[in-house]
Structure 1
Amino acid sequence: MRFRSYASPDRGAVLAATAGGAWHDLGSADLVDIIADGRQADATLLDGAPELSTRGLSLLPPVQRPGKILCVGLNYVDHAAESPYENVPDYPTFFTRFASTLIADGDAIIRPRASAELDFEGEMAVIIGTGGRHIPADDALAHVAGYSVFNDASIRDYQFLTPQWTPGKNFDATGAFGPDFVSADEVPPGGAGLSLEVDLNGAPMQRANTSDMVFSTAQLIALASVWTTLEPGDVIVSGTPAGVGFARRPQVYMAAGDVVEVRIEGIGTLRNPVEDELEAL
């Protein structure tokens, strides 16, 4: 099944779902509660639910306030080679992103006043269903509720100010996420074997396959759960392939008026315009 979250001016957050036909209005149901109950592939959720009218609604990220967003750097061999680090890591380069940075499909990615080095990073997002600690890799995919599309837009000069990437990965309105949450049963195990493409203003920038990840979805879950308790609704953003703007010569950064698209086969297309941060009043 697929789920989308919307904002309504008079109803607040609205959840919608489809099993392949029309989208149905699930009202104020919480996707994380559905995930925690293991019902993300349960088509009976649609029984009696009216068809959705999107009039007056605006998209939200599939999970608006994840308890944790764990991102992974250098998780494609070709991207590691084009980065300042060159070598493929022996252990995943985990870093965190804050929920306050998230935006939905169609929302503007904001280029901040502080920098002109706004870069794109198309990635597959993994949403945790069953939580836990010390999850064996052999069992890890049973802990996945579903998948989505992510653009880990990065402010490169701030990212490389220190060995810790936190500032450059957490400017407001840079974590584009969505539009759909797709239950794991509709995707190959671990989200492997899917084409991942990024276009900027229609020009191809990134072309890869999720099977090229250095650490698979199962390995990422197993290794992360050694040091943190994973919970329903947590998001693992699994890394980006080669082709990012800072590694190009000349470099290609996003600017106001641009449109960036991230497409992952079988999961969806995430499309966002780019705008400049407004001057303070």
Structure 2
Amino acid sequence: MTGRIAAFRAKDKTRFGVVTDEGIVDLTEIAGFPHLQAVVSAGALADVIAVADGRAPDFRIEDVTFLIPVAAPEKIICVGVNFPDRNAEYKDGTSQPKHMSLFPRFPRSFTGHGQPLIRPPENHTLDYEGEVAIVIGKGGRRIAAEDAYDHIAALTLANEGTIRDWVRHAKFNVTQGKNWDNSGAIGPWLVPFTDPAQLDDAHLVTRVNGEVRQEDDMKNMMFPIREEIAYISTFTTLVPGDIIITGTPTGAGARFDPPKYLAPGDVVEVEVEGIGILRNTVADE
């Protein structure tokens, strides 16, 4: 796998660099950008990754702390109930809705690869949702679906961790159940988006303690990513660094009988071949 660029912390400093099988090539001081988000905004991912060619790693992977790749996006917008089997889980007799369900998440609600998802003391219904996340590279408003892929800079993975009881606190929104600090994760790195097949042929798998809980093909989504970008950009201007978390398959813990919520010590992995594996443990706050 090539072209993996990550944000991380090492030697008491926030850095970014290219992840290789041998380690991480630190580009913080030599690439001409203060942080990875600036690289995305400049449309310079490929150029910066090329700077690492031929350079020896500066850090071992096990010696760094991975961070959310884009630390302060203007917007994180999540698409809910976006696979047919997931829609059927609700057992409300409805077919595919006319419009997609959307909700916001705040950057503070996510942690990086390898870090624990935090279960709060107020409620223990912490659930997992494995998803592909896209990072916008070229902004725009009212983007046509056929042009949507031109606006994607990179792909990454998300575990859109949720406090299930809190999404039921109100009639029309789920925001409070979706935004507990460090309840989800994004990472482990960004993979530049260069080929539609990276999304169109993607196969998404979520495992808990090695057991496959979620598995589906991205092509089965009710609202494909092209449509997501077109619809979202109709009402809000997308800007470089914005993140769209595209939808999770059936198999979240809440849908088991009895539910299989996450507990301290659990290990959750979200995987898409060609992007990587986002791995997190679970801990109590």
Question: TM-score if structure 1 supplies the norm length?
Answer: 0.92
Q: Secondary structure at the match of 1:70?
A: strand
SS at match of 1:180: strand
Q: Distance in 1 between matches of 2:276 and 2:154?
A: 13
Tell me the residue number matched to 2:14.
13
Match of 2:84 in 1: 77
CA positional deviation for 1:93: 0.6
Identity %: 37
Rounded Cα–Cα distance in structure 2 between residues aligned with 1:192 and 1:52: 35
Q: State the distance in 2 between where 1:22 and 1:8 align.
A: 13
Give the match for residue 265 of structure 1.
273
- Correspondence list, 1:1-281, <5 A: 1-10=3-12, 12-17=13-18, 23-27=24-28, 29=33, 30-42=35-47, 43-46=49-52, 51-54=57-60, 56-83=63-90, 87=94, 88-162=96-170, 163-185=172-194, 188-189=196-197, 191-277=199-285
- What is the CA-CA distance between 1:24 and the residue it aligns to? 1.9
Q: Which amino acid aligns with 1:53?
A: F
Deviation string 1:111-132 (CA, Å, 9 cap, x unpaired) is: 1111121111000000000001
Residues in 1 aligned to 2:208 and 2:167: alpha-carbon distance in whole angstroms: 21
**Contact 2:125–2:261, Cα closer than 8 Å, also in 1:** yes
SS in 2 for 1:178: strand
- Aligned-residue offset at 1:33: 1.8
- Given that 1:64 and 1:99 are in contact with CA atoms closer than 8 Å, whether structure 2 keeps it comes out as yes
| One-letter amino acid of the structure 2 residue matched with residue 16 of structure 1 | G
Equivalents in 1 of 2:57, 2:115: separation in Å? 24
Tell me, in whole angstroms, the C-alpha distance in 2 between the residues paired with 1:22 and 1:188. Answer: 28
Distance 1:18 1:252, change over 3 A: closer
SS in 1 for 2:103: strand
2:264, 2:222 → 1: CA distance? 33
Alpha carbons of 1:114 and 1:22: their partners in 2 closer, same or farther (altered >3 Å)?
closer
Query: Separation in 2 of the partners of 1:75 and 1:234?
Result: 20
SS, match of residue 124 in structure 1: strand
SS in 2 for 1:182: strand
The one-letter code sitting in structure 1 at the alignment partner of 2:42 is D
2:38 corresponds to which letter in structure 1? Answer: D
* Pairwise CA distance, 1:49: 5.6
Deviation at 1:61, TM superposition (A): 1.2
Gap runs ≥5 in structure 1: none
User: Cα distance, 1:57 vs. partner?
Assistant: 2.5
Any idea what the Cα deviations from partners look like across 1:243-265, whole Å, max 9, x if unmatched?
11111112110011111111112
Separation (CA, whole Å) in 1 of partners of 2:25 and 2:262: 36
Q: How many residues align?
A: 275
8 A Cα contact 1:141 1:190, kept in partner: no
Q: Conserved in 2, the CA contact under 8 Å of 1:26 and 1:49? A: no
Q: Deviations over 1:87-114 (max 9, x none)?
A: 3221111100001111001111011111
- Partner SS for 1:41: helix
Kindly report the root-mean-square deviation, in angstroms, between the aligned alpha carbons of the 2 structures. 1.9
The answer (yes or no) to whether the contact 2:67–2:113 under 8 Å persists in 1 is yes
Give me the TM-score of the superposition, normalised by structure 2.
0.90
Please give the per-residue CA displacement for 1:166-206, whole angstroms capped at 9, x wherever unaligned.
00000111120110100001x53461221111111111111
Contact map agreement 1:154 1:168 (CA 8 A) in 2:
yes
Q: Distance in 2 between matches of 1:200 and 1:44?
A: 35
Structure 2: how far apart are the matches of 1:154 and 1:227?
26
Q: Is the 8 A contact 2:132 2:245 kept in 1?
A: yes
Unaligned runs of at least 5 residues, structure 2: none
Q: Equivalents in 1 of 2:280, 2:190: separation in Å? A: 17
Contact 2:270 2:278 in 1 (8 A): yes
Give the deviation of 1:44 after TM superposition.
Answer: 3.4
C-alpha spacing 1:20/1:202, structure 2 compared with 1 (3 Å)? closer
Segments ≥4 residues shifted beyond 4 Å:
18-22, 47-50
Relative distance call for 1:64 and 1:75 in structure 2 (3 A) is: same
